[in-house]
Amino acid sequence: MEQLPLHPAEETNQPLLLLTAPQLTSPVSTQSIMRDVLIALAPAFVASVVVFGWRAALVTVVSVASCVGFEWLWCRLRKTPNTCWDLSAAVTGMLLAFNVPSTLPLYMVVLGAFVAIVLTKELFGGIGCNFANPAIVGRIFLAVSFPAAMATFVAPGSVDLVSSATPLAPASGAHTYLELLLGLHGGVLGETSALAILIGFGYLLVRRVITWHVPVVYVGLVALLSLLVGRDPLAQVLSGGLLLGAVFMATDYTTTPATLRGKLVFAVGCALVTCLIRFYGNLNEGVAYSILFMNLFVPHIDAVTRNTPVGGERVRKGR
């Protein structure tokens, strides 16, 4: 091929690159998205350390380290490229830690991470292929396997292991709205401070990582249904795992529907199941189960909520 006689010093024998359009790509990558999610989780992390002390930090570090470690080990054993740097395992680790009490024995945290990363994510094909949210499955596994340890909460501001009920337990009403908002009550790490979760939500919206639809519909519908059955809507919204679940887990890309319509169906389903469990079930908390339950319906929701392409309207009607 002919070379341009313009810059003899820089002349090379490299052929011109032949690449298909578009030549431009956006700066957003899987890694940058996951980094944003980690940043959005930071306020809740800080809140948990303030409320529960250093053990909260320890649980989080162990959880993140074991999630990333399992992912690294999996890639190593399978001889596939190392995917730890996409940061998705770190996000799972953070979320798993936020779903357990600060008093949980560390070996249980590691077990939960194994279930989340290896059993839920990697065995189904790794990032993007899991049908259920890894952190939620990890939490449910721990709750079912170690019910006592998972329900032992430390009272805020003390280091004593006090088995105190979460605000959603029947003894509810013991906390003011302000205490609920700031998170000054017992519970799992990430479920306490509503304010910290909302700050993270705001960040995700600004960075366009998620849209407002799912969290707002989910939480709003739970509030509405609480009102209908005569419960305190604000207490229902501010306590338990609702905000954490609605903002960080019901918006997980992989395990929720693709289109906006599908996402709305998903959010409504989550709200209904949450309320059924909270109001009429044996469990105090229904968020994790409701999201897992709805995760299973995603392929079916996707199939019936596909967008109609522009220009495809008439054809579809004709059928």
Interacting residues toward another protein by CB under 8 A: 1-4, 6-7, 10-12, 14-26, 28-30, 32-33, 83, 86, 88, 126-129, 253-254, 258-261, 264, 306-315
> 104 or 214: whose CB is closer to another protein?
214
Least Å distance, CB 313 to another protein, is: 7
Least Å distance, CB 74 to another protein, is: 14
> 107 or 314: whose CB is closer to another protein?
314
> 33 or 108: whose CB is closer to another protein?
33
CA 313, chain centre distance (Å): 35
What residues have CB less than 8 Å from 54, skipping those under 6 apart?
Answer: none
The DSSP call for residue 22 is P
> 151 or 214: whose CB is closer to another protein?
214
Q: Write the secondary structure of 61-97 as one string of H (helix), E (strand) and C (coil).
A: HHHHHHHHHHHHHHHHHHCCCCCHHHCHHHHHHHHHH
Sign of CA dihedral 37, 43, 47, 49: positive
> 252 or 285: whose CB is closer to another protein?
252
Least Å distance, CB 209 to another protein, is: 9
**Residue whose token pair is 């700031």:** 182
Distance CA 134, CA 146 (A): 18
Least Å distance, CB 134 to another protein, is: 13
Least Å distance, CB 121 to another protein, is: 11
Distance CA 43, CA 46 (A): 5
